[in-house]
């Protein structure tokens, strides 16, 4: 009997959740055969994280209808969104692996691909938090015309907490375990210098951290239509302003909203 592929996919969900929970509690990189560890399922977990992000984006308006002025899902180009989030996980993972490739190979005469797999799993969790911050930024734009001004104190506290977790996870899920793994081959001082240094270097040169990088996700036409409907509904209804002109002006000034 052939196995139902849909059922097989759904069976991956609880397994991925368990592995992510285990990663959060104990992020150590195994020193033995990858096939005998959770790293073997890194691509399953990566796909699960992307799927979870899609669910969050599409369902967040329904969960918090009084907070979100617009449904973020209606403004996002999903193929581009998933592609850029994937790059946001893949690029730094490849960079970290590449930066440590030479010193590790010089010391051990082998390639430690486990560093790439572990980094990709960690960044799979990171991009979930990044997507939440992105959604918050979109909502801020509609209300305050800028992604950098909080709507209220509760939202400010929430966004600060998410941002703090994002930075903390960089250390706890990547910086610390990579450095600890390196102590198997280098002195503690050198290991932590290499581990933390590689993370900081990735933060500095990673293009996906740029706000402009994520601007490609937005469907600007739909954004401007909904923005005008929200900001100038009374004026348009009263024939004070022409809606098409406002939408055109909004499109011209899109850099102002998404710097």
For every residue of 88-127, DSSP letters joined together read: HHHHHHHHHHHHHHHHHHHHHSS--THHHHHHHHHHHHHH
pLDDT tens-digit series, residues 193-228: 999 999 888 887 765 555 566 667 888 888 888 888
Distances (CA, A) of 5 to 10, 30, 116, 156, 181: 9, 30, 28, 42, 37
- pLDDT at 206 (0 to 100): 65
- pLDDT at 209 (0 to 100): 53
- pLDDT at 257 (0 to 100): 54
What does pTM read for this prediction? 0.85
DSSP code of 210?
S
Mean pLDDT, all residues of the chain? 83
- pLDDT at 137 (0 to 100): 85
* 3 state SS of 177: helix
Residue 127: how many other CB atoms lie within 10 Å: 23
254 φ, ψ to 5°? Answer: -60, -30
Cα atoms in the 13 Å half-sphere on the side-chain side of 144: 14
- pLDDT at 1 (0 to 100): 44
Intervals of the chain under pLDDT 70: 1-12, 206-215, 236-239, 253-259
- pLDDT at 142 (0 to 100): 80
């Amino acid at each position: 009997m052939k196995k139902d592929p849909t059922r097989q996919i759904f069976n991956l969900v609880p397994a991925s959740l368990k592995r992510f929970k285990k990663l959060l509690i104990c992020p150590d990189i195994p020193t033995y055969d990858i096939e005998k560890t959770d790293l073997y399922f890194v691509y399953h977990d990566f796909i699960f994280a992307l799927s979870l992000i899609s669910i969050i984006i599409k369902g967040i308006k329904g969960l918090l209808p009084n907070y979100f002025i617009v449904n973020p899902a209606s403004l996002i180009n999903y193929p581009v969104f998933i592609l850029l989030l994937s790059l946001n996980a893949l690029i730094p993972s490849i960079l970290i692996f590449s930066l440590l490739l030479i010193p590790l190979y010089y010391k051990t005469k082998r390639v430690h691909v486990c560093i790439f797999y572990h980094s990709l799993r960690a960044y799979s969790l990171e991009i979930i938090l990044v997507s939440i911050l992105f959604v918050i930024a979109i909502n801020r734009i509609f209300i305050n015309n800028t992604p950098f001004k909080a709507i209220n104190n509760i939202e400010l506290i929430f966004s600060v907490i998410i941002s703090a977790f994002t930075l903390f996870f960089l250390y706890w899920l990547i910086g610390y375990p990579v450095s600890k793994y390196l102590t198997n081959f280098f002195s503690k001082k050198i290991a932590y210098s290499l581990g933390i240094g590689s993370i900081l270097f990735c933060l500095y040169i990673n293009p996906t951290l740029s706000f402009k990088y994520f601007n490609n996700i937005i469907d600007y036409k739909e954004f401007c239509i909904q923005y005008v409907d929200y900001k100038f509904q009374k004026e348009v209804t009263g024939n004070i302003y022409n809606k098409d002109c406002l939408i055109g002006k909004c499109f011209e000034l899109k850099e102002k909203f998404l710097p």
